[in-house]
Amino acid sequence: MKRSNWSFRRYILYIVVFLALIWAESLVHPRIAPKVDPNAGKPSNTAGINKDDEKNRSLYRLPQTKGKTRDFTSEQGNGEQIRLIPGTVTRTVDGDTVYVRLVSGDEEKVRLTGVNTPEIHHPQKGVEPYGREAADYTRSHLSGKKVYLETDISERDKYGRLLAYVWMARPSSTTDSEIRAKMFNARLLLDGYGQLMTVPPNVKYADYFQNYQREARENNLGLWGIKGTF
């Protein structure tokens, strides 16, 4: 009887020691729950992309021209560089909108940044005062001419048009004298064919443009010389 009790006690002791070892092991090497992917089991987003949505998104991508003539970089005196996209103006729409053929062969509808000329095709406004003069001015200066496009922070408007500063010759800097002489956006303001239109975040030359408009207005140039209009 005594031997049987001892065997039972020894069996219980073995169980206690075994459980103690398991507990000690769990303290030294705790189990880490496997990482669960929150997207597991969900359908892939790419499978349901609408082709029309993809086409619309492509309107807001600046076309890449081919080869080494994709763009030029002009070095400024302060070390800053300007990215310029070369092209040729194929036709003009009005004073502030033109079509440009890039060296890749792609044609872009370009809206000049920072300036607004009177309308000539507006469905409600019709032909505004000095609209045809502004359109003729742009056509005479840009049609068929090689230009260099500079984009700002936002490259496209809601209509998909490329927003750009149109340089008539490659600038050596972005000083006041270079802007006056070579940037067509500035010429529209300086000669009184357009008004300042600042739309953030595209405000790189806004301070210059404000001064150019003030000069034209003080000298009654272009549309500023029309009495009772502005």
> Is there a single domain that holds both residue 199 and residue 115?
yes
Of residues 20 and 202, more confidence is placed in 202
Say if 209 falls within a structural domain.
yes
Task: Confirm whether 208 is domain-assigned.
Answer: yes
Average pLDDT of the chain?
A: 80
Q: How much is the average pLDDT of 163-167? A: 99
133 in catalytic set: no
Q: Which residues contact 76 (CB under 8 A, 6 or more apart)?
A: 82, 172, 173, 174
Q: 119, 150, 178, 187: which is the annotated catalytic residue?
A: 119
Which comes out higher in pLDDT, residue 60 or 6? 6
Active site residue 218: no
Catalytic site residue from 91, 132, 161, 217: 161
Percent of the chain with pLDDT over 70: 68
- Which structural domain range is residue 160 located in? 71-225
Q: Given 108, 111, 178, 187, which residue is catalytic?
A: 111
In tens, the pLDDT along 125-135 reads: 778 889 999 99
Residue 48 falls inside a structural domain: no
Q: Is residue 151 pLDDT above 90, yes or no?
A: yes
- Residue 119 falls in the annotated catalytic set: yes
Calculate mean pLDDT across residues 168-181: 97
Mean pLDDT for the stretch of residues 196-216? 98
